[in-house]
Amino acid sequence: MNTFQLDGAEVPFDDGDTLMVAAVRAGRHVPHLCWHPRLGQSGACRLCTVRVDGRLAAACTTRAAPGLVVENRTPDLDGRRRMLVQMLFVEGNHFCPGCEKSGDCRLQAAGYELGMTGPAFEEFHPQRPVDASHAQLWLEFNRCILCKLCVRASHEIDGKDVFAIGGHGIGTRLLVNSPSGLLADSALAPDDFAAQVCPVGAILPKRRGFAVPIGSRRVDVEDAAADAIAAADAAAPASEPDDARR
């Protein structure tokens, strides 16, 4: 069986596997935000950056190959990740104690896991609109981290193309595909995968806030954050064939 080294351990892989897919299958955790086992490759957030034979590469887009030496959890790589998470926190409005996603948020979990104790940078405090036009869902643009998970889920799984990314630089933003630009006029339904895949609190169902008590959510406990995320990835179904996504 083909293998590569991940932090000194031999990890088996199948032809076509990325480093991330092989690592998850082997029960090894690589920090990430924009990767999901049901979706194709993206490389949007770069939190999964590893060192492959001495060069930096995204684990979610890099194909596994025999004999590769991959470094994952090193002080310098985790330092890079911590800085990325700190920048994501200050770029949006992420006030965890008041967010319905608290305790089940991958950005929050990444902060716990990487030892983030503060924002480290000046906060932007953007004032972006909240789209509450949909009868069953609402969209909080202030929390969006531009991971593109909802964009890809709507295209690859739901076949609706409800979301897109527009703009450049600091003006980059999530767009809703509807005549008015509002969620109410889009094809998004509550049971769509795109409505459920958001790793933060940007897309949420209405009238179901704080349904799971604080203390019972999967990343309420700081030391369990990485284990909870790894378990969720391992339990999710693998990517579907291209034909099945249409």
Phi and psi angles of residue 4, each rounded to the nearest 5 degrees, phi first: -135, 165
- 166 close to 175: Cβ distance less than 8 angstroms: yes
Q: What percent of the chain has pLDDT over 70?
A: 93
pLDDT digits (tens, 9 = 90+) for 166-180: 999 888 999 999 999
Q: How many domains does the chain have?
A: 2
Does one domain contain both 93 and 62?
A: no
DSSP states along 14-62: -TT-BHHHHHHHTT-----SS--TTS-----S-TTEEEETTEEEETTTS
* Model pTM above 0.75: yes
Of 55, 77, 99, the last residue of a domain is 77
Of 20, 45, 77, the last residue of a domain is 77
Overall average pLDDT of the 182-202 stretch: 97
Instruction: Provide the mean pLDDT of the chain.
Output: 90
Is residue 220 scored above 90 in pLDDT? no
pLDDT for 242 equals 42
pLDDT digits (tens, 9 = 90+) for 77-121: 999 999 999 999 999 999 988 888 988 899 999 999 999 988 889
Does one domain contain both 98 and 170?
A: yes
Is residue 153 scored above 60 in pLDDT? yes
